[in-house]
Structure 1
Amino acid sequence: MKWKNALLILSASLGLVPAAWAEKLSVAATPVPHAEILEYVKPMLAKEGVELEVRVFTDYVQPNIQVAQKRMDANFFQHKPYLDEFNKDRGTDLVAVAGVHIEPFGAYSRRIKKLDELKEGAVVAIPNDPTNGGRALLLLQRAGLIRLKDPGKITATPRDIADNPKRLGFKELEAATLPRILDQVDLALINTNYALEAGLNPTKDALVIEGADSPYVNVLVARPDNKDGEAMQKLVRALHSEAVKRFILEKYQGAVVPAF
């Protein structure tokens, strides 16, 4: 055992930890930017003795189910309002461990160049989950297109619209499908991760976009039983590092904004 301890001390001094001795941490993530950010911190965690496994999902449901059922240790794809709604609806007790970045939500169109070109009766597609659908309606309200009965309701639905001067029609669809139906509607409100995956540039292509003061910070999520674990906290420190801040700013050019 003495030689093994000596080797571990030497490896640590060189910033290396043998893979066989590394603690494994599995994280579910959507592809852009979450999985990309996690892949960036992999070498940092390897030096800390943590082998990070990133598993990519393209929906907003399975990553939470995987963590709740202890198939994965954590996930990274959602904001706190979505997490709160998921816990309430599914009876789970997942917890936010750390906020990492904001993805300003935007409205996109292939048919018009600016919002005031929207005609009466135009069809607007929004996400069908309560928090992102409400987020879309709040953005449309800020743009002056509608008025909600409760101007601050984050889970608003089209039924909560009090004033709709252009008589806009709303289609509520799964968030991941919205970029694919952009040619079929007049306007679509799209989460930035899906916009980026579809080749859209939020800072250039969005007709209206949230500001950097958006309350929808994307968070690392885990369970109460593992949120304070050493490997999890090493991941938090890596995600909150200056290196990650520079990576986000340089790679996404304002489409993703650090929140730490």
Structure 2
Amino acid sequence: MHTRVAVTKKRVLSITTAALLLAGTVLAPFAAAHAADKTTVKVGIMSGEDEDVWREVIRQAAAKGLTVKTVVFNDYNQPNEALQNGDVDANAFQHQPFLNNQIKVNHYDIVRVGDTAVWPIGLYSKKVKSAAGLKKGAVIGVPNDPSNEARGLVLLEQQGVIKLRPGAGIAATTADITDNPRQVQIKELDSGIIGRSVPDLDAAVVNTDWALKSGLTRQDRIAQEPVKDNPYNNFIAVKKEHVDAPWVKTLVAAYQNDAVKHVFDRVYKGTGLTAW
């Protein structure tokens, strides 16, 4: 009697467990798909002119059934950390060399899903009208994050100010300078303050968005990197696990359209170019 009851209980438990496992197997993909197909997403962007551009992106996304909420940052290192931690669902502020370095250092699981624009980095000065006018011993500021420092050094090489080790390219550092005929001093500064430091330097390489925020103008820009085949296109990024989610395609489409391009061109006044 007791033996039969025990067996019956075991069978009931086995059947129940199997049913739960089966349900889990069936429901897990459904739950994952449901979670991936968001109707509201948070996107990390940088403060400033990009906020105006994203107001139009928000309107375009709403027309496609996607609610976009922007989270504004003032530090380049914050948006990827926020994306990795799940505080935002996407971000739009960086180029591939910058992301590559962040992945190398922080092991982020972040990928590129749609290009936005390119801002050719420039050499700015309040003291000379061209790179050729830089005198011996001139102090030149460059961004201190690895990808943009390399970008700045390559621009200085293109302008004949320095020479870099062959092949240094987008990974160049000051250690790769092989020739410095004018004995210029390279001063590494945070991207957020380098634009405001231009009056105190002979020249400085400044990202376009920070140049605008610092009040620098085209008249202050004495050189600029080429636009054609530029490896520094900015893009929308998401975590790798979300790359095929429907909302990602909707978000990219909400950016890559004529209405956003019109606002972008008005806001950036030719200093940046849409790149899709």
TM-score range, shorter chain: 0.7 to 0.9
Q: Aligned partners of 2:211, 2:63: CA distance in 1, in Å? A: 33
User: Hey, what does 2:46 align to over in structure 1?
Assistant: 30
Query: Which residue identity lines up with residue 112 of structure 1 in the other structure?
Result: V
Q: Aligned partners of 1:200, 1:167: CA distance in 2, in Å? A: 26
Residue of structure 1 aligned with 2:220, choices 205, 208, 219 = 205
**1:238 positional shift:** 1.4
Q: Aligned partners of 2:220, 2:255: CA distance in 1, in Å? A: 28
Matched position secondary structure for 2:187: strand
CA displacement 1:18-38 (0-9 Å, x = unmatched) = xxxx82110111124433321
Matched position secondary structure for 1:56: strand
Provide TM-score, normalisation by structure 1.
0.87
Matched position secondary structure for 1:228: coil
Would the aligned equivalents of 2:52 and 2:267 in 1 still touch at CA under 8 Å?
no
Residue of structure 1 aligned with 2:165, choices 129, 149, 156 = 149
Query: Structure 2: 5+ residue runs without aligned partners?
Result: 1-37
Residue of structure 2 aligned with 1:80, choices 76, 79, 96 = 96
User: Hey, what does 2:174 align to over in structure 1?
Assistant: 158
Q: Percent same amino acid at aligned positions? A: 34
CA displacement 1:35-92 (0-9 Å, x = unmatched) = 3321111111112221111111111101000000111111111001100111011111
Does structure 1 residue 94 correspond to structure 2 residue 110? yes
Distance 1:46 1:58, change over 3 A: same
Q: Aligned partners of 2:48, 2:225: CA distance in 1, in Å? A: 18
Q: Aligned partners of 2:99, 2:171: CA distance in 1, in Å? A: 13
Query: Which residue identity lines up with residue 121 of structure 2 in the other structure?
Result: F
CA displacement 1:124-172 (0-9 Å, x = unmatched) = 1101111100000000111111110125521211111001110010111
Matched position secondary structure for 1:135: helix
User: Hey, what does 2:262 align to over in structure 1?
Assistant: 246
Give the structure with the larger helix fraction.
2
Q: Aligned partners of 1:252, 1:185: CA distance in 2, in Å? A: 25
Does structure 1 residue 186 correspond to structure 2 residue 202? yes
Query: Which residue identity lines up with residue 263 of structure 2 in the other structure?
Result: F
Q: Aligned partners of 1:38, 1:162: CA distance in 2, in Å? A: 43
Matched position secondary structure for 1:95: strand
Matched position secondary structure for 1:25: strand
Query: Which residue identity lines up with residue 59 of structure 1 in the other structure?
Result: D
Runs of at least 4 residues off by over 4 Å: none
Residue pairs, 1:1-260, within 5 angstroms: 23-201=39-217, 203-213=218-228, 214-260=230-276
Query: Which residue identity lines up with residue 229 of structure 1 in the other structure?
Result: A
Quick check: which has more Rg, 1 or 2?
Answer: 2
Count the aligned residue pairs: 238
Would the aligned equivalents of 1:109 and 1:187 in 2 still touch at CA under 8 Å?
yes
Query: Which residue identity lines up with residue 115 of structure 1 in the other structure?
Result: A
